[in-house]
A and B are shown apart, each in its own frame.
Chain A
Amino acid sequence: EPEVTQTPSHQVTQMGQEVILRCVPISNHLYFYWYRQILGQKVEFLVSFYNNEISEKSEIFDDQFSVERPDGSNFTLKIRSTKLEDSAMYFCASSEGTGAYGYTFGSGTRLTVV
């Protein structure tokens, strides 16, 4: 069964450093998403991406965050200057179409900012 692949599975970074989280969505999917889950809290939407542009973003997704699909297969989330409160599990997801198709999630990247 097709999978969404995320790398790395764990990343530790110092506060103020830039991090890039990588995702390879399912190849025929058209819609891409990032979510995050702070330890002990609910999964929160960050951003959705379609046709090489952001289609929606949450209030969490401020100027420190950016997304890119650099080569037609990878989908990346960049955090420019990490803060302690960015520590969380970050999930990438993709979908074939509208919500009726469902969403396939990756296994996540656990980001720890020290």
Chain B
Amino acid sequence: AQSVTQLGSHVSVSEGALVLLRCNYSSSVPPYLFWYVQYPNQGLQLLLKYTSAATLVKGINDFEAEFKKSETSFHLTKPSAHMSDAAEYFCAVSDRREYGNKLVFGAGTILRVKS
């Protein structure tokens, strides 16, 4: 069965500092991988996704993530944190079945940005 582990339920960074949110997955075959962001009282917004091709994936708001098969990781980074990045971030995985792929989510990481 697939699973996702997000290391650190809370991460705090200063404004302008590097953001690094960690995600490791477990899957018998290379999966599809996603990062979602959830602002307070809002739904889940897709930040970026890895589906095959390039291992370095760029997303919205200058976020990017690198798929590392050898480490089974898909860590999310942003060079310079902004106050508006404060939110909860979820890593998720789905398998490569033909259709009806469900998402399996990690527990989430709450990002706090200090001024």
Contacts and interface: CB of A to CB of B under 8 A. Distances in A.
Interface of B: 32, 34, 36, 42-46, 49, 51-52, 90, 92, 94-108
Interface residues of A, number: 30
Interface of A: 4, 6, 30-31, 33, 35, 41-45, 48, 50, 55-56, 58, 91, 93, 95, 97-100, 102-108
Given A97-B99, A100-B51, A44 B105 contact: yes
B107 A42 contact: yes
B76 to A, nearest CB: 16
Given A43-B92, A93-B44, 20 more contacts: A6-B43, A31-B100, A33-B103, A42-B108, A43-B108, A48-B101, A50-B100, A58-B102, A95-B101, A98-B98, A99-B51, A99-B95, A99-B96, A99-B103, A100-B32, A102-B49, A103-B46, A105-B45, A107-B43, A108-B43
